[in-house]
DNA sequence: GGACACATGTAATACGTTACATGATTTT
DNA sequence: AAAATCATGTAACGTATTACATGTGTCC
């Protein structure tokens, strides 16, 4: 049964994709809300996983609506109509199913770190480029940590949950910075980089 | 000019995608090597970013070959032929260009953490499910850290670079575990979760 | 010589991105 | 009323995934 099959009605189907689940989650958090609001929230997200592009969100929301995981309330808006979405019971069930997946492998999986990925291949750079790259990355990571610390200091979080999430981001960023500062110190030694294998 | 346009010959084109760059990087590290070897390395990677599926790698390698970023040496193998690839000069240039990208935004960007993503929406779970989920995640993260620590302890890394990369993965995993243990302690309080907004 | 892993692909499918198009509302 | 911004979409495109098909070498 294809994902956009409108005959799907229950929560007994294939599990949600991450994007579907996140859309359901966002709607759940701000219902009633429009597809545009979901889009805006994705666009505002600091991570670059999804762009929240129109071509992804509008069709996806329509699909979730057709699958009756979302209910829509028409709201006239000139010649066009806006739709205010809410989660249906099936939508809540589906979202919960995604959250407490029996298989946690994907949830637990080690986050992909673009710095670590690139580090695998840094042996392909000449020594001075390597050092320059390391300096630039350290600088970028420091700025990132600084920004997250400032956000933390201001403590303008609507809920405790938001604060915990921000804390997690900050802790991760700090750990990465500390680690990479150590690595950078050694980026000059060619001896260690001969192989250049691995792909993350 | 489309990515598989065989007329592309230099390194002056659009920047490489991450997958393209990683393929070049792997070939660079083990050249000469076959598409299958690249595939195997992706499949062996602990992260789940790419599956290294045949349908992705074989066409991609052919594209890189057509673009003359890879050179191929035919090797008869029964009725089929195997191709041993190497990086061309243009391939090295392209790989280096990807590594020391002028725009580090993507490199620096905060790693996507599936745990953090799910935490955004955990308010949609009833309280006891929430606690159960938290316990399961902590258990999973502990096992992950344990495995990485063991790998670290054995210290069976071909190069220093491999060791640093493993250290980075371990540090990240430990930071995530420490953070989430703290979070889990509070997953019982409903007060904090009322909003349930955010999308990572 | 059958089973099994190694190795090389192709076809169908799904979906996220970019780029474009257009309507509605607010600002100046 | 022109410009900018908010809002709702569509079309073309590329490409990663799954599932399948098939050849090749090795091990018992």
- Count CA atoms within 13 Å of residue A53 on its CB side: 6
Secondary element (H or E) of residue A73: strand A70-77
Cis peptide before B32 (omega within 30 of 0): yes
- Closest residue by C-alpha to C1' distance, nucleotide D13: B2
Which nucleotide is the nearest neighbour of A58, by CA and C1'?
Answer: D9
Smallest Cβ distance to A159: which of B109, B173, B193?
B193
Q: Return the residue in A40, A118, A169 with the most chain B beta carbons within 10 A, the one to mutate for interface testing.
A: A118
Quickly list DSSP for A74-127: EEEETTEEEEEEEE-HHHHHHHHHHHT-S--HHHHSPPP-HHHHHHTTGGGS-H
pLDDT tens by residue, B145-165: 999 999 999 999 999 999 999
- 3-state secondary structure (DSSP) of residue B85: strand
Residues with Cβ within 8 Å of A189's Cβ and at least 6 positions away in sequence, in order, are B160
The whole-angstrom distance between A82's CA and the closest CA on chain B is 22
- The reply to whether B103 touches chain A by the CB within 8 Å rule is no
Q: How much is the pLDDT for B200?
A: 57
Q: How much is the pLDDT for A192?
A: 65
- The reply to whether B185 touches chain A by the CB within 8 Å rule is no
pLDDT tens by residue, B59-109: 999 999 999 999 999 998 888 899 999 999 999 999 999 999 989 999 999
How many percent of chain B have pLDDT more than 70? 88
Q: Return the residue in B23, B41, B108 with the most chain A beta carbons within 10 A, the one to mutate for interface testing.
A: B108
The whole-angstrom distance between B83's CA and the closest CA on chain A is 20
- Owner of token pair 């990571």: A141
Chain A positions in Cβ-Cβ contact with residue B122 (cut-off 8 Å):
99, 161
Smallest Cβ distance to A45: which of B122, B164, B199?
B199
- The reply to whether A135 touches chain B by the CB within 8 Å rule is no
Q: Phi, psi at residue A138, to the nearest 5°? A: -60, -45
- 3-state secondary structure (DSSP) of residue B10: coil
Q: How much is the pLDDT for A46?
A: 86
Q: Please give chain A's pLDDT, 200 residues, in tens.
A: 333 333 333 334 789 999 999 999 999 999 999 999 999 999 999 888 999 999 999 999 999 999 999 999 999 888 889 999 999 999 999 999 999 998 999 999 999 999 999 999 999 999 999 999 999 999 999 999 999 999 999 999 999 999 999 999 999 999 999 999 999 999 987 666 664 444 45
Q: How much is the pLDDT for A195?
A: 47
- A122 close to B161: Cβ distance less than 8 angstroms: yes
Q: How much is the pLDDT for B176?
A: 98
How far is B161 from A45, CA to CA, in rounded Å?
A: 32
Residues with Cβ within 8 Å of B197's Cβ and at least 6 positions away in sequence, in order, are A26, A29, A30, A41, A158, A159, A162, B120
Burial A29-46 (b: 16+ CB within 10 A, else e): bbeebbbebbbebbeebe
Opening angle at CA B184, ends B183 and B190, nearest 5: 90
* Cα–Cα distances in angstroms (integers) from residue B26 to residues A54, B158, B194, in the given order: 35, 15, 47
How far is B198 from A44, CA to CA, in rounded Å?
A: 10
Q: How much is the pLDDT for B4?
A: 37
- Report, as an integer, the average pLDDT of B166-174: 97
Average pLDDT of chain B? 89
Six-digit token string for A137: 């990355």
- Count CA atoms within 13 Å of residue A11 on its CB side: 15
How far is B35 from B24, CA to CA, in rounded Å?
A: 11
The whole-angstrom distance between A92's CA and the closest CA on chain B is 7
How far is A52 from A43, CA to CA, in rounded Å?
A: 5
- B100 close to B94: Cβ distance less than 8 angstroms: no
Strand C bases with any atom < 7 A from protein Cβ: 7-21, 23-25
């Amino acid at each position: 049964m294809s994902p956009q099959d409108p005959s799907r009605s229950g929560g007994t189907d294939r599990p949600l994709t991450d994007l579907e689940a996140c859309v359901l989650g966002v709607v759940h958090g701000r219902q009633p809300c429009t597809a545009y609001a979901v889009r805006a929230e994705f666009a505002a997200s600091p991570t670059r996983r999804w762009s929240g592009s129109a071509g992804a969100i509008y069709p996806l929301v329509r699909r979730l609506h057709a699958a009756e995981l979302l209910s829509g309330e028409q709201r006239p808006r000139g010649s066009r109509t806006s739709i205010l979405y809410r989660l249906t019971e099936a939508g809540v069930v589906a979202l919960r199913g995604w959250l407490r997946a029996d298989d946690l492998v994907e949830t637990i999986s080690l986050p992909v770190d673009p710095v670590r990925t690139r580090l695998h291949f840094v042996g392909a750079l000449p020594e001075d480029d390597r050092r320059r790259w390391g300096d630039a990355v350290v600088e970028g990571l420091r700025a990132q940590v600084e920004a997250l610390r400032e956000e933390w200091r201001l403590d303008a979080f609507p809920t405790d949950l938001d604060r915990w999430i921000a804390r997690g981001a900050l802790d991760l960023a700090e750990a990465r910075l500390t680690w990479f500062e150590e690595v950078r110190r050694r980026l000059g030694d060619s001896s260690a980089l001969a192989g250049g294998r691995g792909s993350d």
